[in-house]
Amino acid sequence: MEVCGVPATTTSAFSWTSSISPSSFHVSQPLSSKGGFKGFKIFCVIQDAQPQKMTISVTGATGFIGRRLVKRLHADNHSIKVLTRSKSQAQSIFPDREFPGIVIAEESDWKNCIQGSSAVVNLAGMPISTRWSPEIKKEIKQSRIKVTSKVVEAINELEEAMRPAVLVSATAVGYYGTSETQVFDEQSPSGSDYLAEVCREWESTALKVDNKVRLVRIRIGVALGRDGGALAKMIPIFMMFAGGPLGSGKQWFSWIHVDDLVSLIYEALQNPTYEGVINATAPNPVRLGEMCSHLGSVLGRPSWLPVPDLALKAVLGEGATVVLEGQRVLPAKAKELGFSFKYPYVKEALKAILS
C-alpha cells in the first residue's frame, strides 16, 4: 500500500482546525504485481482548512499591538469589534474604506459587543513609557484593572450560551521582576517590584472570568515593530549616541517581533489547547549589549559609545526600567504547544523591521 507524501508546506493544514473527511481520500486503480499481490494507491486530497470565522471584541485595538492584530484578523475576514474610549480616534485609525464592516464601540456599548462575540482580546492599558509620578503609577495599574474588570463582568453577566468561548488577556514579562542571572518561564514565581505587582493584579482580575470561558494570559516581552513600542522610541536616541550599548549592556532583553506576537494571539483565539499563562517572548532573548550591536549593524551605525541611562530615561521615563533592568524569559509553553516563531533571532527580526 502506498500513501502519498505530504509536502512540508501543507502539513500545517493538519492543525486542529482541519478535518479529514472520507471524501479527502481517493483510492486509485488496484496495482498489479507479479507476485499476485494487489495493492492500492491512496491519494490524500488535502483541502485548505477553512478556519472558522470569529467575531472578536478587542480592547486596546487602537494601540501598537492591537492595530497589527486587527489588521490581520480583518484581512482573514473575521468580524472585529473595537472596544475603545474614543470612537472618533478609533474611526481615524480604522477608516471604513479600509476596514469595511468593523464595529467601533465606546464603553457604554462594550457589553452589547461582547455579547455577540465568540472571543475577546484584552490589550488596553495606559502606556508605561512615561514619568512615573505616584499618580501615574496608580493610573498605569488602575487603567488595566478597570478595563479588565469591565470585560470580565460583561462576560460573566451573560447567560452561558451567549458567552464568548475565549478571553485572551494581555499581561507582561514584568510579572517575573528583573534579574541578570535568573531564567524565567511560566512556572517561575512573580517578582517583588512595582511592575510585578501591576501584572499580578492585572492577571488576577482576568482570572475572575467564569471558568467555562477559556482564559489565556499572554505575558508579553518587549514587542519589536517599526511603528510603535520601545524600539521606535529607542532608535532616535541610539542614532544620536552613535549606537552603543544602553546602560551596562548586560541586562537581559526578552523581545518578540510584533508579527510573532500577533500570530500567538491569533493561535490562542483559535486553538483550544492554548490555555493559562503563555510567555510571548522569542526563544532567544539576548543581553541588551548584543541587541544594540545588532541594531547598530542593521542601522549601519558604529556600536561603541554607550547611550547614557539618562538619555533613555528622558524618552521612556521610569518605563525605561523595562529596558535597563531586564529579565531573561523563555517561551516554554509556546514551544510545548508547537508554536513556530517566524523570528527566533533578534538580528533577523531587526533586519525585517528596519530594512
CB of 245 to ligand NAP, least distance (A): 20
Residue 147 vs 298, nearer CB to ligand NAP: 147
CB of 297 to ligand NAP, least distance (A): 22
Q: Which span sits near ligand NAP by CB under 6 A: 187-195, 228-236, 241-249, 267-275?
A: 228-236
The site for ligand NAP, by CB under 6 A, has a size of: 26
Residue 126: alpha-carbon gap to chain centroid: 17
CA end-to-end span of the chain: 50
State yes or no: residue 65 binds ligand NAP (CB under 6 A). yes
Q: Which three cell numbers stand for residue 26?
A: 481517493
Residue 46 vs 109, nearer CB to ligand NAP: 109
Find all residues with CB under 8 Å of 74, minimum gap 6, and list them.
80, 99, 102
Are the beta carbons of 181 and 325 closer than 8 angstroms? no
d(CA 122, CA 111): 14
Are the beta carbons of 51 and 216 closer than 8 angstroms? no
State yes or no: residue 262 binds ligand NAP (CB under 6 A). no
Beta carbons within 10 angstroms of residue 236's beta carbon: 11
Spell out, one character per residue from 165 to 194, where the chain touches ligand NAP: x when CB under 6 A holds, - when not: -----x-x----------------------
d(CA 97, CA 233): 30
- Out of 73, 121, 125, 282, point to the residue binding ligand NAP (CB under 6 A): 125
Residue 85 vs 208, nearer CB to ligand NAP: 85
Residues forming contacts to ligand NAP in the complex (CB under 6 A) are 60, 62-66, 84-86, 90, 123-127, 139, 143, 147, 170, 172, 220, 222-223, 228-230
